[in-house]
Structure 1
Amino acid sequence: MSKTIVEGYYGTILEINKTIVQRLYGTTLEMSKTIAERRYGITILLSKTIAERCHDIMNQMNKTIVERHNDNTKKNE
């Protein structure tokens, strides 16, 4: 029963969203395409920048930890 309720709920939501999107973007397709490209383009660039920064920081941190660990290991030997 819950499966039916979920299917009914999400099916309805998807149909409504599809209709709204078609109405909204159907009339202003070129404009919305431009907005989407700008918005997602910026989002992708921001995400990429954040990811690159994050990974670079993580790599630097991990490298430092490894270097420290190896240095300590060498001293202990």
Structure 2
Amino acid sequence: MAEEQSQISEMSFEQALRELEGVVRRLESGDVPLDESITLYERGEELRKACQSRLDAAQARIEKIVAGTDGKPAGTQPFDADGNA
């Protein structure tokens, strides 16, 4: 498992998301034996956590800078504070 985690940490967000989508497709197919399904589910959960962590980090970076009316950074506010997502 530690080897898998290090591999996930080396993936880009896009690579991890693609693999997660593949895991979901395989699980949804219903053609996977129970033991393999459990292993796939565990891998999928690790990939989901990695993707969520990267999304959270990206949102935190976005929240750091908010431009004022003059175009210069004026402070911080949450990314979706004015209703934009």
Higher relative contact order (CA 8 A, sep 6+): 2
Q: TM-score, normalised by structure 1?
A: 0.45
Q: TM-score, normalised by structure 2?
A: 0.41
Structure with max Cα Rg: 1
Greater percentage in helix: 1
Greater percentage in strand: 2
